[in-house]
Amino acid sequence: MNTKTTGSKLPPSIWSLAWPTTIANLLLASVGFIQIVMSTKYGSDATAAMTVSQRIFFLLQSALFGLSAGASAIIARHFGANEQHKAGQAFQSAMLISFIISLLLATLCFIYAEHFTHWFGMDEKTEQMAISFIKWICLFSPIYSLNIIIAGSLRASGDAMHPLLLAIMSSFGNAFGCYAFSTGSFGAPNLGVEGLIIGGVLGSIISLLFYICMWHKNRLILPFPEQSSYRKKTQVLLRIGMPSAVEQTIIQIGFLVFTIAVASYGVEVLAAYGLGLNVLTLLLITSLAFSMSGAVVVGQYLGRKEPEKAYQQGWAAWRICVAFMTFFGLIFFIFNHQIAAMLTTEEIVQSHTALFLVIIAFSMPLIATDFTIGGAIRGAGDTTYPLKVSLITLLLVRIILPFVFIYLQLSFLSLFILTAVDFLIKAVFMVRYFRNRKWQTTTF
């Protein structure tokens, strides 16, 4: 790797971070995709219940994704300034805080699982399945949360290969667990559709234990701190990470409320939305990879006191991501019916899913813009502005308009279109703010 005359390493390129991150995220997201596709063999009610439980899962993890973004901004800035010991302290604090937060959120969710499922207006059988799924997810939530922090923090240091290895261990182990526990294969108990949730944590447990041991033995680029600085690092982490944590929570609350609105159109529409959303998630992974990569590189260049290069790298991440997402959008547009037919055999659900995929196809450049430009802003440590934008879209697009459309008795298609409107608003606001460069003055 090229170096300055001072001997400090230059930040990694966007692509060197993005391709391992893309593969890692695809592998991890594929588990949720496998779960919902395998649930279709148990009927549309099982698919609907799985859709609801996955929304609750993402709600539980949202705060940790936000906290991870804050931790990544701090760690990237320290690595850019050649302060690895401070990065290790920030990582240690992030691990502790993430465990505490995930444990508290999971406990509350477990207690009120029955109340959450009432919001969706499902029949009794579907509701009972959803309650069971949610409670299992709550038990496993801290495990997933710690893996999120580990992967994000390692990428922030410029190491994208260890998170890829973590994803391989987690995804293959989780997929194996899903199959084994849902079918009773390889000596595992036959738990049916519940086995998709219970077995889906096997690989995450193995990878978590492996990487904690690696870190404690100082075999990762992030050093295990000889001297902890919990109070100071926690204060900085909360100041930078909490707005992002709140933002991600708001986004998932918006998705949850929106799913409730979609559920009012019936189980078939809800199942189609769940299937389409899981396909979309696989595509969001590409944008998320460039968002993470751009955030790391922007943060490291700011740590090196090179704001102009940070600005250029933000646009570089955007250009590559738009090209990728536009390509995938064309595939969705051309093959929407074929993709839907691969997901389910129920014709009504197929038709609704195909419509959702067409709408998503036109949203791809907007998604790329929101993710990459927003990621660059967060990578600079400015997490307050994206929070404000998310509040606007939550109230307007995810809460007010859906129920206005329902009151006006508009087609469920109008709700699907709101997904594109959400990304349009975010893309416009993010680009405008990025161009004025106020994010370059963020300090911590």
Q: Let me know if residue 3 belongs to a domain.
A: no
Question: What are the average pLDDT values for consecutive 10-residue runs of the chain, which has 444 residues?
Answer: 48 89 85 84 85 83 82 90 88 90 92 84 85 92 92 92 93 93 92 91 93 91 79 76 81 83 88 83 80 92 93 94 92 91 87 92 93 93 91 89 91 90 94 94 78
Residue 50, token pair as written in the block: 């799985």
Q: Look at the chain and report how many structural domains it folds into.
A: 1
Pick the closest to residue 13 from 167, 156, 154, 158 (CA basis). 158
Count Cβ atoms below 10 Å from residue 200 Cβ, excluding itself. 29
In a domain, 234, yes or no: yes
pLDDT value for 6 = 41
Is 209 exposed, middle or buried, given 0-12, 13-18 or 19+ CB atoms closer than 10 A? Answer: exposed
Phi-psi region of 278 (alpha: psi -120 to 50; beta: other; left: phi over 0): alpha
- Which whole-number Å values give the CA distances from 257 to 47, 56, 123, 285, 399, in the listed order? 18, 11, 18, 23, 7
Residue 341 lies in a domain: yes
Note whether residue 116 is domain-resident: yes
What local confidence, expressed as pLDDT, does residue 2 receive? Answer: 38
Domain-located, residue 162 = yes
In whole angstroms, give the CA distance from residue 321 to residue 120: 35
133 lies in some domain: yes
What gap in Å lies between CA 208 and CA 219, rounded to an integer?
15
CA-closest candidate to residue 380, choices 436, 324, 323: 436
| CA distances (Å), origin 149, targets 46, 163, 322 | 31, 10, 27
Alpha carbons 153 and 144: distance in angstroms, whole number:
14
| Residue 5 included in any domain | no
**Contacts for 26 with CB less than 8 Å, ≥ 6 apart:** 282, 285
**CB neighbours (10 Å) of residue 275?**
29
- Specify the DSSP element, H or E, that contains 443: none
- CA 243 from centre of chain: 16
Q: What is the pTM of this model?
A: 0.79
What is the residue range of 117's domain? 14-441
Query: So what's the pLDDT on residue 7?
Result: 45
